[in-house]
Amino acid sequence: MTATIPEIHRGLAGVVVDTTAISTVFEETNSLAYRGYPVQELAAHRSFDEVAYLLWHGELPDAGELERFRARERALRPLDRTTAELLAGLPRTCHPMDVLRTAVSFFGAEDPTEDEEGTAGHLAKSLGLLAKLPVVVAADHRRRLGQDPIQPDPDLGYAENFFHMCFGTVPAPEVVRCFEISLILYAEHSFNASTFTARVVTSTLSDLYSAVTAAIGALKGSLHGGANEAVMHMLREIGDPEQAADWLDRALNEKRKIMGFGHRVYKHGDSRVPIMQEATDRLVARAASPETTRLAALHSSLRHAMISRKGIHPNLDYPAALAYRLMGFDVPMFTPLFVMSRVAGWTAHITEQLAHNALIRPLGVYTGPAQRPLPQGV
Ligand SMILES: CC(=O)SCCNC(=O)CCNC(=O)[C@H](O)C(C)(C)COP(=O)(O)OP(=O)(O)OC[C@H]1O[C@@H](n2cnc3c(N)ncnc32)[C@H](O)[C@@H]1OP(=O)(O)O
Ligand SMILES: O=C([O-])CC(=O)C(=O)O
């Protein structure tokens, strides 16, 4: 008698594991919505910190709530000396995502309330991470250039302050706005791999810092958040806009994955891409140097070639990579920029998971040797 093998869903493709009230892609409009609000409208009219508030509280803040929220975020930005020294001592050869992962783990070790449960405590910890992670990313960026960190400026908004800490100056409003749009679009995307990782860790009743540390590890991979860096490596490998189509044919023949294209959920295009691409096009028009024009032409040629050859559309990482490069960020910072935003979504899911917790523990079909006796006499 042969045993029936249950249906296997490799990569959990198509498997529904839980409910969520945080975000969804509405099938009718192929549109991502956070707590019901279309992300296009949030990107056009709201700031990233309002979006973080929305993800955590379920509603947008009124004027007073926003003012208090911003004041708390600004007050929580500075790193203590121990953290700054720890991060300054990490090898410069390590990836900036390793620095962020270590930082979050260390924040947990430093927090005496690490293991306390409860929504209020979670929201306070989440805001602490939202406030401090940009400081870590900016300090690490400068350290790699041999420069001293620049302290956060409590008079500057979230995005402006980040530019100030990285470069010592705040760029033109349209550049800051493009960055803010990327943060809003990256903030949340339902049960993606890193968010699911955070939910798995939380489901064991582990702490928020452990869940976020694990999520950073999941986001680093090039099939997920690491793709925004991989896009730039790929564009550099191609080099010339005229070469894009031939390069693509060779890469597809070699069965390579084309970075920044394809998606587990969107099969006809990522709903966030048009907004990000429009904002990126405005940066391209503004910069208008020969190098920028060439990079943008290459980016566009590869997009057209991929859609015409394979019918596979870009995901958010594709336009975001170009935007970040045009803003002056080094390529290894791209996925850390994603973390600065996605920490809002991760922590919203951690709170939601705990509110209706069930240990996440799937099954696997065993394909190893049949039961057998241990060899005797060894
Ligand atoms: C913010 C984000 O995390 S968005 C995702 C970022 N990741 C990337 O950009 C990496 C490149 N993309 C990919 O590897 C994939 O599209 C993923 C991992 C994102 C999604 O993968 P899946 O949902 O498992 O798609 P799946 O592998 O089933 O793809 C279906 C078919 O399209 C092909 N395909 C999908 N994406 C790509 C791609 N980027 N390049 C080449 N072929 C692709 C697959 O090879 C497969 O072809 P086959 O049926 O002939 O085997
Ligand atoms: O949803 C996914 O699988 C990946 C993604 O686009 C995201 O996390 O933003």
331 secondary structure, DSSP code: G
- Is residue 317 annotated as a catalytic residue, yes or no? yes
The closest residue, in CA terms, to atom 15 on ligand 1 is 262
Cα distance between residue 329 and residue 344, in whole Å: 22
Please report whether residue 10 resides in a domain. Answer: no
Exposure letters 67-106 (e unless 16+ CB within 10 A, then b): eebbeebbebbebeeebeebbeeeeeeeebbbbbbbbbbb
Please report whether residue 186 resides in a domain. Answer: yes
75 secondary structure, DSSP code: H
Amino acid (1-letter code) at residue 140: D
Pairing of strands 23-26, 31-34: antiparallel
Cα distance between residue 8 and residue 13, in whole Å: 10
Domain span at 251: 36-362
What integer pLDDT is reported at residue 252 of this predicted model?
98
Q: What is the pLDDT of residues 7-53, one digit of tens each?
A: 999 999 999 999 999 999 998 888 899 999 999 999 999 999 999 99
Of the candidates 164, 224, 263, 349, the residue annotated as catalytic is 263
The closest residue, in CA terms, to atom 4 on ligand 2 is 192
pLDDT tens per residue, the chain (378 residues)? 566 888 999 999 999 999 999 999 998 888 899 999 999 999 999 999 999 999 999 999 999 999 999 999 999 999 999 999 999 999 999 999 999 999 999 999 999 888 887 788 899 999 999 999 999 999 999 999 999 999 999 999 999 999 999 999 999 999 999 999 999 999 999 999 999 999 999 999 999 999 999 999 999 999 999 999 999 999 999 999 999 999 999 999 999 999 999 999 998 899 999 999 999 999 999 987 899 999 999 999 999 999 999 999 999 999 999 999 999 999 999 999 999 999 999 999 999 999 999 999 999 999 999 999 999 986
Please report whether residue 30 resides in a domain. Answer: no
Kindly state if the Cβ of 336 falls inside 6 Å of ligand 1: no
Q: Can you give the C-alpha Rg of the chain in angstroms?
A: 22
Please report whether residue 367 resides in a domain. Answer: no
Please report whether residue 20 resides in a domain. Answer: no
Please report whether residue 331 resides in a domain. Answer: yes
pTM: 0.97
For 138-196, give the DSSP string. Answer: HHHHHHHTT-------TTS-HHHHHHHHHHSS---HHHHHHHHHHHHHHS--TT-HHHH
373 secondary structure, DSSP code: P
**CA 105 to centroid of chain Cα atoms:** 18
- Is residue 263 annotated as a catalytic residue, yes or no? yes
Ligand 2 centroid, distance to 192 Cα (angstroms): 5
User: φ, ψ for residue 309 (rounded to 5)?
Assistant: -75, -45
Instruction: Give CA angle at 50 (47, 54), nearest 5°.
Output: 140
C-beta neighbour count of 18 within 10 angstroms: 14
Kindly state if the Cβ of 192 falls inside 6 Å of ligand 2: yes
Cα distance between residue 218 and residue 224, in whole Å: 8
CATH code of the domain covering residue 160: 1.10.580.10
Kindly state if the Cβ of 225 falls inside 6 Å of ligand 1: yes
* CB-based burial label for 265 (10 Å; 0-12, 13-18, 19+): middle
Cα distance between residue 213 and residue 197, in whole Å: 10
Cα distance between residue 49 and residue 47, in whole Å: 6
**Crossing angle of the two packed helices 119-144 and 96-110, in degrees rounded to 10:** 140
Cα distance between residue 293 and residue 215, in whole Å: 36
> Which residues, in sequence order, are CB contacts of 134 under 8 Å at separation 6+?
77, 152, 158, 161, 162, 165, 340
Virtual CA dihedral for 71, 199, 80, 142, nearest 10 degrees? -90
Ligand lying closest to the C-alpha of residue 320? 1
Positions of E strands within 238-361: none
Ligand 1 centroid, distance to 176 Cα (angstroms): 31
Please report whether residue 372 resides in a domain. Answer: no
Kindly state if the Cβ of 313 falls inside 6 Å of ligand 1: no
Give me the number of domains the chain comprises: 1
From 166, 101, 128, select the one nearest 339 (Cα to Cα).
Answer: 101
Please report whether residue 26 resides in a domain. Answer: no
The ipTM, to two decimals, is: 0.98
Cα distance between residue 207 and residue 116, in whole Å: 8
What integer pLDDT is reported at residue 151 of this predicted model?
98
What integer pLDDT is reported at residue 2 of this predicted model?
62
Q: E strand or H helix at 240, and its extent?
A: none
